[in-house]
Amino acid sequence: MKTPASSWILFGILCVLPCLVLDAQRSDPIYSADSVVLERTLCFGTCPAYRLSISRSGVIHFESRNPEDERRAKDSILVRDFETILVQAHRVDFLSLPDRIADDKRFCPHDVTDNPTAIVTIFIPARPKRVEDYYGCFWAPAGLRDLETYIDEITRAKRWIRAARRR
């Protein structure tokens, strides 16, 4: 039984397409990043403040920024886990996000006060890209919030995080 030519063409497209998509993704400068930093700021209540940095080699540095808390920690993740952070950043088109979500009325037409801010900085060779995400802006890109949460989860940061003392 002969296989129709259209089947072979479809088979060829299905074999080549994933490679083309992967090449297009890898051309994004985000994949050349050598480190990622997540910072969370205090709020009016007990929101924890800290700085979490992850290097391309997987080394994690945690530093509490809570008042009267000098907790520091160091650990590591797998290199492929660092790369998944970059994949998440690519998916949200991180490099095209505004530097401050609160300044962009598409994402923050109205805001409320006394919320924390999450700041993600990705250090790529050309220049670092920093995005400040004020949690009083309820329309911030869901993918950005997912990225922030993913960084906390992949590094298992909750083992070091403590609520801040009420100010």
Is-contact 39 155, C-beta < 8 A?
A: no
What is the C-alpha end-to-end distance of the chain, expressed in Å?
A: 78
Name the token pair of 123. 């250090």
Is-contact 89 143, C-beta < 8 A?
A: no
Name the token pair of 95. 């490099």
Is-contact 158 99, C-beta < 8 A?
A: no
Q: pTM here?
A: 0.83
Nearest to 36 by CA among 20, 13, 59: 59
pLDDT of residue 111: 86
Distance CA 146, CA 89 (A): 10
pLDDT tens-place string over residues 54-92:
999 999 999 999 998 999 999 999 999 999 999 999 999
The full length of the chain comes to 167
User: Over 90: is that where the pLDDT of 155 sits?
Assistant: yes
User: Over 90: is that where the pLDDT of 2 sits?
Assistant: no
pLDDT tens-place string over residues 129-154:
999 999 999 899 999 999 999 999 99
Nearest to 153 by CA among 52, 57, 56, 70: 52
User: Over 70: is that where the pLDDT of 122 sits?
Assistant: yes
